[in-house]
Amino acid sequence: MDHKTSFFKKADIVLAIALLLLGLGSFLLLQNLQKAGDTVTVTVDGSLYGTYPLAEDRTEQIVTPLGSNTLRIEGGRVWISEADCPNHDCVEKGAIAKQGQIILCLPHKLSVTITEQEGGGPDAVSY
Amino acid sequence: MRSLTSGPARAAACGVLTALALIFSYIEFLVPLPIAIPGIKLGLANIVVLVCLYLLGEKYAFFINCTRIALAALLFGSLFSALYALAGGIVSFAAMALLKKTGIFSVCGVSMAGGVFHNLAQRTVAAFLVETAQVYYYFPVLLLSGMATGIGIGVLATLILRSLGQNKTS
């Protein structure tokens, strides 16, 4: 046994490539498996602010105690077009369109997710 | 490590190694990584499991790993954290033991696969518990982080095995 003489062996590289391919494969698979979702769910400070159908184009002004954001739904995509938060991360995040995707505005404690009408995501996930 | 051939010596070694693994678990519990993605962690306790796998064999390593997870859940975990940890621990252990048996991979390679399968198993349990495939969204990230931390842990375990002088006795 010479398993301590070297840090890596040739077989390790093969293993690493196999694992990377598994990762790439699962990533591509997930891209296709992602459900479209049909509802835009907005929460402020953890509680529900409102839900809007993804299929309906609209502009919604979301006023939170900490500031306001302008939510734009158009063509099955949703994004924050304007916000008076200091960092504008939510605006720069761009548009989301698939279930489970999320836009966060941490300064305003605002989250925008895409969900399914009847289901709703997990309340809490603990690891 | 010739001294570890007798039963009592092995039992004592198991106790010490379990305690060490538990301490590593506790350190990780106390000092979480400042990363927003849940599921990324170093897996320090796996150093002990790896060293034990090579020094004492599968049976002892498996015992130490399971005891460590059960104790960690009792002391500072919850039922859910125990489920996640157990799934990750058992699946990654199975992967590591199998790869080690082939004899063609280094400690780092074995550890790397262990890291990946740990994350894979935890994601799968999460998917069952919350009944959504949403939890898989981060999987590619977790796969890469599992590989990276696994290699790091593998390097450390290699160094420990080297300084324990396993070369001369095996």
Nearest neighbour of B109 by CB, restricted to A15, A27, A125: A15
Considering the entire predicted model, what is its pTM? Answer: 0.67
User: CA–CA distance from B81 to each of B24, B28, B154 (Å)?
Assistant: 16, 13, 24
Q: Is A1–B103 a contact, with Cβ atoms under 8 angstroms apart?
A: yes
Chain A contact for B101, CB < 8 A? no
Model ipTM over 0.95? no
Q: Residue B37: helix, strand or coil by DSSP? A: coil
Q: Is pLDDT of B17 > 80? A: yes
pLDDT digits (tens, 9 = 90+) for B56-85: 999 999 999 999 999 999 998 888 788 888
Contact A113, A41 (CB under 8 A): yes
Mean pLDDT over all residues of chain B?
87
- Res. A100 pLDDT band, cuts 50 70 90: confident
pLDDT, average across residues B108-124: 92
Lowest mean pLDDT among A4-8, A83-87, B104-108: A4-8
Cα angle vertex B143, ends B139, B147, to 5°? 165
- Measured in angstroms, the CA of B45 and the nearest CA of chain A are apart by 17
CA closest to B112 among chain A residues: A16
Chain A contact for B80, CB < 8 A? yes
Contacts of A26 in chain B (CB under 8 A): 136, 139-140, 143
Mean pLDDT over all residues of chain A?
82
pLDDT, average across residues B38-43: 82
pLDDT digits (tens, 9 = 90+) for A8-48: 888 999 999 999 998 888 778 776 666 667 889 998 888 88
Q: Is B105–A9 a contact, with Cβ atoms under 8 angstroms apart?
A: yes
Chain A contact for B124, CB < 8 A? no
The residue that leads in pLDDT, A81 or A36, is A81
Contact B55, B5 (CB under 8 A): no
Q: Is A126–B78 a contact, with Cβ atoms under 8 angstroms apart?
A: yes
Chain A contact for B113, CB < 8 A? yes
Lowest mean pLDDT among A66-75, B36-45, B87-96, B100-109: B36-45
Instruction: List the CATH number of the domain containing B116.
Output: 1.10.1760.20
Q: Is pLDDT of B150 > 80? A: yes
Residue B104 makes CB contacts below 8 A (sequence gap 6+) with A9, A11
- What proportion of chain B, given as a percentage, has pLDDT over 90? 56
Q: How many domains does chain B have?
A: 1
Provide the CATH topology of domain A39-115. Answer: mini-chromosome maintenance (MCM) complex, domain 2 (2.60.320)
At residue A45, the pLDDT reads 86
- What proportion of chain B, given as a percentage, has pLDDT over 70? 88
Contacts of A30 in chain B (CB under 8 A): 133, 136-137, 139-140
- Res. A1 pLDDT band, cuts 50 70 90: very low
Q: Domain spans of chain A?
A: 1-33, 39-115
Residue numbers of the domain that contains B83: 2-169
The DSSP-derived string for chain B is -GGGGSHHHHHHHHHHHHHHHHHHHHHHHHS--S-SSTT----THHHHHHHHHHHT-HHHHHHHHHHHHHHHHHHH--HHHHHHHHHHHHHHHHHHHHHHHHS-S-HHHHHHHHHHHHHHHHHHHHHHHHT-GGGGGGHHHHHHHHHHHHHHHHHHHHHHHHHTTHHHH-
- Residues listed for chain A: 127
Q: Is pLDDT of A93 > 60? A: yes
Nearest neighbour of A126 by CB, restricted to B81, B133, B137: B81
Chain A contact for B148, CB < 8 A? no
At residue B52, the pLDDT reads 93
Lowest mean pLDDT among A5-14, A21-30, A46-55, A103-112: A21-30
- Measured in angstroms, the CA of A88 and the nearest CA of chain B are apart by 19
One-letter amino acid at B32 equals P
